[in-house]
Structure 1
Amino acid sequence: MYLPGFPATARELPTHASGLQLTGTAFLFGQAVGQLALGPLSERYERRKPIL
């Protein structure tokens, strides 16, 4: 749902399609870093505490 809306979003906001693609990249990068950081913590200190 996000990718098909790129052209319309680029027209509505003062940005280029490459700037919008960067938002998707940043989101996926954040998800990867979060998994790498919180995964070992949740194994060490139970699962509920680090998630909260």
Structure 2
Amino acid sequence: MSDNWTAVAMAFVALFLVGGIISFFKQGLKVGALLLAVLAALATTAAVLWW
């Protein structure tokens, strides 16, 4: 289980970024939301690959 802590941390980072995407959309910052979407996808990929 100790090897999976990095994967869990990356999953939480991805969820945090999804919250940022929602916030950016509400503010009308679509370019920022797109950037956060790319970062969230990368964090999700890292979590899956690390698992």
What TM-score, normalized to structure 1? 0.49
- Give the structure with higher Rg (CA): 1
What TM-score, normalized to structure 2? 0.49
Larger RCO (alpha carbons 8 Å, 6+ apart): 2
